[in-house]
Amino acid sequence: MERARVVKDEIVEKDTHFLSVYVEAENSCLIMLSEREDKFGTLAVAVPKPKDMLGPVASSVLLGDKNMILARMFAEYVAAKKEKIALVSIYLETASEVQAQSVLKRLMEKTIHSEGETEGTMA
């Protein structure tokens, strides 16, 4: 049995640290994107469509409302790209969604494509 893959990353843009924590399991993935420190924010979920069905992925915001457009958009993107259930959390302190969108997208891509760590098993 393979364990979940965990990746932590960050990008500094205009003296602001944008952080990510990514956990990928066999059937799902979770990515937390935040400004300055690792914090949980607005949470969206997306479920990919089966390959034989047409249309977009199904998505919804579960918690929060501050960055709901960005969280939902990124959840749909990750679900379609990974073909897994995707949970995306966005926490922004000072940056607006519009200001942070391109930075968080780059950070998300960098994090998802990183090798990361695989947690070991206990003896």
pLDDT in tens, 6-52: 999 999 998 999 999 999 999 999 999 999 999 999 999 999 988 77
What is the rounded distance in angstroms from the CA atom of residue 34 to the CA atom of residue 16? 11
pTM: 0.86
**The pLDDT value given to residue 34:** 96
CA-CA-CA-CA dihedral for 27, 88, 59, 95, to nearest 10: -160
Rounded Cα gap, residues 115 and 4, in angstroms: 12
The domain locations on the chain are 5-116
Query: Which CATH number does the domain 5-116 belong to among 3.40.430.10, 3.30.70.580, 3.30.230.90, 3.20.20.140?
Result: 3.30.230.90
The H-assigned helical ranges of 1-123 are 68-82, 97-112
